[in-house]
């Protein structure tokens, strides 16, 4: 990720994002360029969106891809998770129609350049969202799925799945994801 050398106001950042062809994250005055995605990364995201879209829940699941920004007020961050799932009504940031505040599930597909940030500070930022219940990190280079599930306000349960033959229960959404479906058509070098 490439960072700006000077501080950028939030208003300037938002205006830039409306006209730019590429996406940038906002980090309390710093603007970071977002990297492109690989074939495996895109395949995993499409597999997940297709599977999540098939669930009929009440209230319904609302799915968002990496083109929708997540605003995290406590940390003044505008981030683009690979997938966000909102259970029921979408809560927007004021009158903005490009910033969501309330995902229940966030999914990130890990890459070598983002894995440390996704597991560390980004997870810290996400945990400040009251509605956030499940965090799923998926490796695109080997069969590994990491699931963090909120059990209380400040406690998270971690499950680590080291192969594609797994079932991931997401009780907050009332659904289960299958590792075989997540990794369908993904080419992993062994």
Cα dihedral 101, 132, 185, 164 in deg (nearest 10) = 170
* Residue 85 zone, left/alpha/beta (φ > 0; ψ -120 to 50; rest): beta
The yes-or-no verdict on residue 33 having pLDDT over 70 is: yes
| Secondary structure letter of residue 3 according to DSSP | B
* Residue 170 zone, left/alpha/beta (φ > 0; ψ -120 to 50; rest): beta
Is 166 or 152 the better-scoring residue by pLDDT? 166
Report the alpha-carbon distance of residue 33 to residue 25 in Å, rounded: 7
Report the alpha-carbon distance of residue 94 to residue 84 in Å, rounded: 19
Provide the pLDDT for residue 110. Answer: 95
């Amino acid at each position: 990720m490439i960072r700006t050398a000077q501080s950028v106001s939030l208003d300037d950042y938002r205006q830039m994002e409306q006209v730019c062809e590429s996406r940038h994250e906002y980090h309390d005055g710093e603007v970071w360029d977002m990297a492109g995605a690989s074939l495996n990364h895109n395949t995993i995201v499409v597999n997940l969106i297709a599977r999540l879209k098939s669930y009929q829940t009440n209230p319904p699941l609302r799915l968002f891809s990496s083109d929708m920004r997540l605003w995290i007020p406590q940390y003044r961050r505008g981030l683009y998770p690979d997938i966000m799932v909102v259970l029921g009504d979408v809560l927007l940031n004021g009158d903005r129609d490009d910033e969501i505040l309330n995902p229940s599930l966030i999914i990130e597909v890990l890459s070598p350049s983002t894995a440390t940030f996704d597991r560390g500070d980004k997870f810290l930022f996400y945990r400040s969202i009251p509605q956030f219940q499940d965090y799923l990190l998926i490796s695109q280079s080997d069969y590994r799925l990491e699931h963090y599930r909120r059990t209380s306000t400040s406690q998270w349960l971690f499950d680590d799945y080291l192969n594609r033959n797994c079932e991931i229960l997401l009780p907050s959404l009332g659904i289960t994801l299958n590792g075989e479906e997540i990794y369908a058509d993904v080419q992993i070098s062994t």
